[in-house]
Structure 1
């Protein structure tokens, strides 16, 4: 199906002409951003979307549905544990069908709005699968062929296939399927310890499912610092989950209505069984069916290789979002899409991606968030730093909230005091980290952050404590201060 929008219409063209200035393959967040940017620059633009649903991963299977479910789980958890505030409650019951129905209604609203944006904008929206015939031509599942001067590929990602052959013995759930469950299993094994795995683990556990989480690395959330991961592991165990880390899966089976896996842990074989197994070991770029070799686009393990201008090895073809990376985060996909659209329209004024402020949020409770460097990454890159942290257990507002797990941490340049990284594991960490993003955007020092007024009692004022500690440790020389002042003027 083709939805026609804008004033350009459909014109018969000679075989050697282009149908469009830009064709964007994929209508998710990155693709929509690229198309909107190109169309606003008066380029004849089309979006080709072949998915059964419109909206992209974030809306349909990622950010929005999982956070809707996690918030429901948090409300239930708070209702079940009010004693700290002198409040009594009986047994809290729930209707899982209504929990899922609310999630579905929210997602439909978001997806309908994205479909409206795609069909009512100043570009053409085409519902079909696409693959390349040559560097300037795609063929559609409708049988039509389209030619374009430029392309943006933004096809997202799909659930990664299992690298372990024995897991094929299991009829396991993927993260996509877990979001569509009609009823809760009584018990669940989760394979993986990344953000998808831990978010699902806490959701199911708080809805009374017996959860066993099995992670290969020494800690969950291995991209974060160990002190951060340990806080989440402690909370998970306190809430009744069984957590195994530093494991090696060895076998799987399915019998008598149960599904099981065996693995090595602390030099011993462990066998666990549950009603369901959730495979949460990541996603891979959705590029397999695009025939990118015919377009001259280089890939590495299905991931499109692109430079900082989002340009691929075929100079007229750009990429954005999860199909290219290096970060599978929706706001980065949007920025990449905007950069790609801009660079096609204005090649003499290129816009380059800057990942200095890359940030990440995991929506467990406590939430886990970071921006820029962790200590682990600073050490890996041999970047000198000073670090200081402060616990929520000793902070006024979090004590009032009975939200005492975790801490905030700042990393600073040991010579200038400029903030080069931040981490928060604690209440609304995903909101609190934005103070450090803003500070780093303006290249503030820890001294400047410490001097910035903060209202009391608030959660945000906790950042002043590690900032003050580092400001006392780091005393830039007058020459350095003068140079900095000149740079900022």
Structure 2
């Protein structure tokens, strides 16, 4: 029989309190067995990535990619038809795996004799004092790992309709005939790919001129062109109002060409995520927030308050699970060894966007490099310039690299196309260990005719660009 969380009296004191069960939940291991620990979680155990983020979305994206391969088979001489998509089966396969993991993680913590689980909203009320539901708890040490939540823009009428967010869209009962998406970031792009592949007519409403504007402009331009062939894109658009006409969402949108009325069966709000530090009232315990609401820490992930550390989306605007996991390991060490603290190294943080086409990137974009006033060169190599690119009949994918002229080191790498999330890793390794572009291009052997040759050839072009810049 499953155990339930212990109900405690008011004013309980702990050695450690962890707020949030995403990456924060991975801190505890056998070395904390003699610590009296409180875990606070107001939602589902496992955090955003497991329950409503990267993992379930990829379990939907993989079959969506299969659909896209079928669509383009004719170009390669393969005539294939799609008999249908069993959305309920895809959804249930996804959450039939994820939900038991979340519940087993919860149950494991509840059953630990040294851990008390609180399942309620939390709010700091004073120095190292946390109100959790009807309980007031204090602790010698706190880890703030409370994550982030969907940003809901102030559009007239939006608060009166039953819209979806990334928290809900993946669990809907059926694929809508028409899906409207507010926002052109990675959540909107990925979910647009999924539901377009599964049969929905997708309309994306973007504030700016292109999708994924935080990517390098070359990548943003290419992904906008590719997905613009699949979606209805309303760029430089401002939603004026949202209302319902029966079961139909009606979104009035101001565009450069005038007022456009979008009708949809479902509306996904994907306008970014905001950190939860403010909801925790962390300033009541002396923890500072920056202008965007992120918890301020040093490189050791310590806040201004001795014994209070923070990790994950609540402190890091990158909002990446792999960074949160790294931060959890640093926090774990620093809790156990406060006199020998480790620092976080976030210089070379890759990210991937699992649209179709995929995107993988690390380091500076060209627009960011321009802002530094440092001399740099770029090289762009199309997949179609390689043998494997010929095999795929790829005419739109590319690898773009940016190098510092003085050091001849890579300072940015951006890939759009098949396997981009994998291809980027070899460049992360080279940047992390200080290799020059020459070493990565010439001293490393790449298998022929693998797709990794697009990276090799881009590096070789970058060597030529560096030589030309140095000769000036």
TM-score relative to the length of structure 2:
0.91
- In the alignment, the residues of structure 2 paired with residue 459 and residue 117 of structure 1 have an alpha-carbon distance, to the nearest angstrom, of 43
SS in 2 for 1:51: coil
Would you say the 8 A contact 1:366–1:405 is kept in 2?
no
Q: Number of matched residues?
A: 464
Would you say the 8 A contact 1:393–1:403 is kept in 2?
yes
For 1:472, the equivalent position in structure 2 comes to 464
Within a 5 Å distance, the mapping from 1:82-481 to structure 2 comes to 82-112=73-103, 114-115=105-106, 118=109, 124-129=115-120, 130-141=122-133, 143-239=134-230, 241-300=231-290, 301-451=292-442, 452-475=444-467
Q: From the superposition, tell whether residues 169 and 2 of structure 1 become closer, same or farther in structure 2 (CA, over 3 Å).
A: closer
- In the alignment, the residues of structure 1 paired with residue 171 and residue 408 of structure 2 have an alpha-carbon distance, to the nearest angstrom, of 48
Most deviating of 286-295 and 460-469 = 286-295
SS in 2 for 1:474: helix
SS in 1 for 2:168: helix
For 1:35, the equivalent position in structure 2 comes to 28
What are the Cα deviations for residues 78-118 of structure 1, in whole angstroms up to 9, with x where unaligned?
23432233322234212111111111123125425544664
Q: From the superposition, tell whether residues 32 and 235 of structure 1 become closer, same or farther in structure 2 (CA, over 3 Å).
A: same
Most deviating of 302-311 and 438-447 = 302-311
| 5+ long unaligned stretches in structure 1 | 5-9, 479-489
Q: From the superposition, tell whether residues 398 and 59 of structure 1 become closer, same or farther in structure 2 (CA, over 3 Å).
A: same
- In the alignment, the residues of structure 2 paired with residue 399 and residue 227 of structure 1 have an alpha-carbon distance, to the nearest angstrom, of 22
Within a 5 Å distance, the mapping from 1:41-52 to structure 2 comes to 44=35, 46-52=37-43
For 1:482, the equivalent position in structure 2 comes to none
TM superposition shift of 1:2: 6.4
SS in 2 for 1:249: strand
Q: From the superposition, tell whether residues 122 and 398 of structure 1 become closer, same or farther in structure 2 (CA, over 3 Å).
A: farther
Would you say the 8 A contact 1:403–1:427 is kept in 2?
no
Would you say the 8 A contact 2:8–2:135 is kept in 1?
no
SS in 1 for 2:28: helix
Q: From the superposition, tell whether residues 54 and 46 of structure 1 become closer, same or farther in structure 2 (CA, over 3 Å).
A: same
The answer on 1:66 being equivalent to 2:57 is: yes
| 5+ long unaligned stretches in structure 2 | none
TM-score relative to the length of structure 1:
0.88
SS in 2 for 1:412: strand
TM superposition shift of 1:463: 0.9
What are the Cα deviations for residues 369-424 of structure 1, in whole angstroms up to 9, with x where unaligned?
11011111112333332111100122211321344432001111112211111110
For 2:14, the equivalent position in structure 1 comes to 20
TM superposition shift of 1:63: 0.3
Would you say the 8 A contact 2:156–2:241 is kept in 1?
no
- In the alignment, the residues of structure 1 paired with residue 408 and residue 428 of structure 2 have an alpha-carbon distance, to the nearest angstrom, of 16
